[in-house]
Amino acid sequence: MITLGEYIVAKQYQFPEASGEFTRLLGSIRLAAKVVNREINKAGLVDIIGATGEENVQGEEQQKLDVYANEKFKAALEARGEVCGVTTEEEENFIIFNSKKQSHSKYVVLMDPLDGSSNIDVNVTIGTIFSIYRRISPVGSPATKEDFLQPGNKQVAAGYVVYGSSTMLVYTTGYGVHGFTCDPSLGVFYLSHENMQIPAQGNIYSINEGNYVKFPDGIKKYIKYCQERDEQTHRPYTSRYIGSLVADFHRNMIKGGVYMYPSFASAPKGKLRLLYECNPMAFLAEQAGGKATDGYRRILDIIPSELHERTPFVCGSRDMVDMVGDFMQEYSADGHPEYHKNIK
Tens of pLDDT along 150-196?
A: 999 999 999 999 998 899 999 999 999 999 999 988 989 999 999 99
286 among annotated binding-site residues:
no
Question: 159, 193, 227: which is the final residue of a domain?
Answer: 193
Question: 193, 221, 242: which is the final residue of a domain?
Answer: 193
Mean pLDDT taken over the chain: 89
Residue 116 lies inside a defined structural domain of this protein:
yes
Q: What's the CATH code of the domain at 151?
A: 3.30.540.10
Q: How far apart are CA 222 and CA 217, in angstroms?
A: 9
Q: What is the pLDDT of residue 40?
A: 82
Domain count, the chain: 2
| Residue 70 · residue 30 · CB < 8 Å | no
Do 169 and 231 share a domain, yes or no? no
117 among annotated binding-site residues:
yes
45 among annotated binding-site residues:
no
Do 51 and 159 share a domain, yes or no? yes
118 among annotated binding-site residues:
yes
pLDDT exceeds cutoff 90 at 54:
no
Q: What is the pLDDT of residue 340?
A: 40
Question: 146, 165, 193: which is the final residue of a domain?
Answer: 193
- 266: exposed, middle or buried (Cβ count in 10 Å: 0-12, 13-18, 19+): exposed
Do 183 and 209 share a domain, yes or no? no
DSSP track, 250-291: HHHHHH--EEEE--BTTBTT-SSBIIIIIHHHHHHHHHTT-E
208 among annotated binding-site residues:
yes
Do 55 and 176 share a domain, yes or no? yes
Q: List pLDDT tens digits, range 204-258.
A: 999 999 999 999 999 999 999 999 999 888 899 999 999 999 999 999 999 999 9
Do 212 and 138 share a domain, yes or no? no
Do 112 and 214 share a domain, yes or no? no
309 among annotated binding-site residues:
no
Domain housing 171: 4-193
Give the DSSP H/E element, type plus range, for residue 304: none
Q: How far apart are CA 129 and CA 285, in angstroms?
A: 13
* pLDDT band at residue 339 using 50, 70 and 90 as cut-offs: very low
- Amino acid in position 169: L
Do 180 and 56 share a domain, yes or no? yes
89 among annotated binding-site residues:
yes
Residue 198 lies inside a defined structural domain of this protein:
no
115 among annotated binding-site residues:
yes
pLDDT exceeds cutoff 90 at 323:
yes
Sign of the four-CA dihedral 205, 208, 210, 216: negative
Q: What's the CATH code of the domain at 302?
A: 3.40.190.80
Do 250 and 103 share a domain, yes or no? no
pLDDT exceeds cutoff 70 at 279:
yes
Question: Within a 13 Å sphere around the CA of 283, how many CA atoms are in the beta-carbon half?
Answer: 29
175 among annotated binding-site residues:
no
Count Cβ neighbours within 10 Å for each residue of 2-36 and write b for 16 or more, e otherwise: ebbeebbeeeeeebeebeebbbebbbbbbbbbbbb
153 among annotated binding-site residues:
no
Do 237 and 268 share a domain, yes or no? yes
Sign of the four-CA dihedral 110, 151, 252, 236: positive
Query: Left if phi > 0, otherwise alpha if psi is -120 to 50, otherwise beta: which for 294?
Result: alpha
Share above pLDDT 90 across residues of the chain, in percent, rounded to a whole number: 68
Do 147 and 44 share a domain, yes or no? yes
Residue 270 lies inside a defined structural domain of this protein:
yes
Q: How many CB atoms lie within 10 A of CB 94?
A: 18
Residue 199 lies inside a defined structural domain of this protein:
no
Do 135 and 238 share a domain, yes or no? no
116 among annotated binding-site residues:
yes
